[in-house]
Chain A
Amino acid sequence: MGAGHLVPLTVPGPSPVHAAPPQVKVAAALLFVVAVVCTPRQAVWAFGVHAALLAAVAVLARVPARALLPRLVIEVPFLAFALFLPFIARGERVEVLGLVSVSVDGSWAAWNILVKGLLGLTASLLLVATTSADDLLRGLEKLGVPSVITAIAGSMLRYLGVIDGQMRRMQVARISRGHDPRWFWQARAVASTIGALFVRTFERGERVHLAMVSRGYTGSMPTIRPLPPATAAGWAAALAVPAIASLAAASAAAGWPT
């Protein structure tokens, strides 16, 4: 039954960040990312402020860098694209180390993607490292996301492992019958597997719905464990992070302190 292939993103631990109500953390992380995105790309010092804020949260949450760094690898494909920009963008060019000429505008664009991606990703990773998937969904619900949406997201989390396991079993069965997908024309079997998996997943959905209906489901998810309301102090502490980030972004946008 069990899947267990999916690496949990949560880093367990008692800390004020872990203990904070999820809705507060979700809101803070979202506002922080908005502040990062709004920061003008030339204001390097402002990105320093953002990074310092994240570092402070990570220290407070006792999330070690070695837990975060490997997960940042997901950004690599975007970085690969960003690396091209200094060479292919038009406009004013400068020599670097007397070797290659790069576009000034392109370099700023690459920096923009790199730093904003990195900061946004780190903020999200910190959020999921300190909040379980379950709490995350309940936090979203508390923030007004319709419960049917969070229910769908919850089922997706729940069944990702089940479907993943099913796919592996089908794959093993295919290989056991001598399939060795090496050439393009052998993709047909893989495609049929995906098709079969889709149909099975669809049927599973029907059976899950049947089981839900049998337990009195009538179309709306019941509230099972209402989250305690967040205190004003909790909100203030969590929102301090995006507030400082916004301040930095706003002053950079206003041209200060250049």
Chain B
Amino acid sequence: MAHVTAAPALRLDGVAYAYPGGRQVLYGVDLEVTPGERVAILGPNGAGKTTLMLHLNGVLRPGAGTVEVAGLPVIEANLREVRRRVGIVFQDPDDQLFMTTVRDDVAFGPANLGLTGEALVARVERSLDAVGMAHVADSPPHHLSGGEARRVALATVLAMEPDVLVLDEPSSHLDPLARSELAAVLQGLDATLVVVTHDLPYALQLCPRSVLLDGGVVVADGPTGELLADTDLLRAHRLELPYGFDPRTLNPRTASTPASPSSAGERR
């Protein structure tokens, strides 16, 4: 999936953005993500995480600065290609899943890309298999549990075979098991991963690198373990490890204990 290119998978250069009405949210964000990398974008509420995310596939266009996806500038003429390459999984699956059946919803993206017939059917099945949700293909989305809906939402984006997968708060509203099942699915993917979250242990589990965003700028960028061990840095930006976590014992190797893939297919 990830093309071997010299260009970075994502490259943001001095991205600034103000919403119509004047509220400025981003004040010059520089960020480079190499193909295959897994990066968490951390930050408190209101840091501009979601706004930044919407720049990655051209839903929002920067007021100043540039965004490039695999060397391709995000401009009107490239939007179709950019949206094929960058898939965003939104926070609320109810926003993402809008068709009357899971199957049609997963087919929506690739059908927009021009896939039809057998190729489309095969793509849908492959995507649902990848998240262990093939058995709900004909269910309406509102019959799914929270964890199932989240995985199906992921499948709708995987179906577009993106090079870069962006997830907005993937662990919110999930019970512990659904959380680790989703982590197992994500860890099995080849795509470049950008996880926007303030769930710090989840960032540690999924992403070796973290970028801390606050006040519309990048305030820290480095290995997740080191970043999370810096208690002063976290506190200065309204972040905190959950109760019971000791920053001195943070070790990404031991922290990531993926659930067995077989459990990912079970329905609760």
Chain A residues in the interface with B (C-beta under 8 A): 1-4, 133-134, 137, 154-155, 157-159, 161-162, 204, 207-208, 210-218, 222-225
* B88 is an interface residue with CB less than 8 A from chain A: yes
CA distance A214 to B104 in the complex (A): 16
| Partner of B95 from A4, A207, A216, A223 at Cβ < 8 Å | A207
CA distance A210 to B88 in the complex (A): 10
CA distance A134 to B144 in the complex (A): 17
B142 near A4: Cβ-Cβ < 8 Å: yes
- What chain B residues lie within 8 Å of A213 (beta carbons)? 59, 83
Of B88, B99, B142, the most chain A CB neighbours within 10 A belong to B142
* B31 is an interface residue with CB less than 8 A from chain A: no
* B45 is an interface residue with CB less than 8 A from chain A: no
Chain B residues in the interface with A (C-beta under 8 A): 54, 57, 59, 80, 83-84, 87-88, 90, 92-101, 104, 107-109, 111-113, 116, 120, 140-146, 149, 156-157, 160
Query: 26 A-B pairs, CB-CB below 8 angstroms?
Result: A1-B93, A1-B142, A1-B145, A1-B149, A2-B142, A133-B100, A159-B94, A159-B98, A162-B94, A162-B142, A207-B90, A207-B92, A208-B98, A211-B88, A211-B95, A214-B88, A214-B90, A215-B87, A215-B109, A215-B112, A216-B80, A216-B84, A216-B113, A224-B104, A224-B107, A224-B111
Q: A2-B144, A4-B142 are in contact. Are A214 and B59 (CB under 8 A)?
A: yes
- What chain B residues lie within 8 Å of A215 (beta carbons)? 83, 87, 108-109, 112, 156-157, 160
Of B83, B94, B111, B160, the most chain A CB neighbours within 10 A belong to B94
- What chain A residues lie within 8 Å of B113 (beta carbons)? 216
- Residue in chain A with minimal CB distance to B84: A216
- What chain B residues lie within 8 Å of A212 (beta carbons)? 98, 108
Q: A134-B101, A207-B92, A215-B83 are in contact. Are A222 and B142 (CB under 8 A)?
A: no
| Partner of B160 from A4, A159, A216, A222 at Cβ < 8 Å | A216
Interface of chain A, helix or strand or loop or mixed? helix
A157 near B95: Cβ-Cβ < 8 Å: no
CA distance A1 to B95 in the complex (A): 11
CA distance A134 to B98 in the complex (A): 12
- Residue in chain B with minimal CB distance to A204: B95
- What chain B residues lie within 8 Å of A157 (beta carbons)? 100
CA distance A222 to B54 in the complex (A): 23
Closest 7 CB pairs of A and B: A222-B111, A216-B112, A215-B109, A207-B95, A134-B100, A224-B107, A161-B142
A223 near B116: Cβ-Cβ < 8 Å: yes
Q: A1-B144, A211-B95, A213-B59 are in contact. Are A158 and B107 (CB under 8 A)?
A: no
Tell me the minimal C-beta distance from A195 to chain B in angstroms.
21
- Residue in chain A with minimal CB distance to B60: A210
| Partner of B100 from A3, A154, A208, A211 at Cβ < 8 Å | A154
CA distance A58 to B88 in the complex (A): 47
CA distance A160 to B109 in the complex (A): 23
Of A133, A213, A215, the most chain B CB neighbours within 10 A belong to A215
Tell me the minimal C-beta distance from B26 to chain A in angstroms.
17
- What chain B residues lie within 8 Å of A207 (beta carbons)? 90, 92, 95
B99 near A154: Cβ-Cβ < 8 Å: yes
CA distance A216 to B87 in the complex (A): 10
B98 near A2: Cβ-Cβ < 8 Å: no
CA distance A158 to B84 in the complex (A): 25
- What chain A residues lie within 8 Å of B83 (beta carbons)? 213-216
Seed contacts A133-B100, A158-B141, A222-B111; 15 additional CB < 8 Å A-B pairs: A1-B145, A158-B98, A158-B140, A159-B94, A161-B142, A162-B142, A210-B54, A211-B98, A214-B88, A215-B83, A215-B112, A215-B156, A216-B113, A218-B80, A224-B107
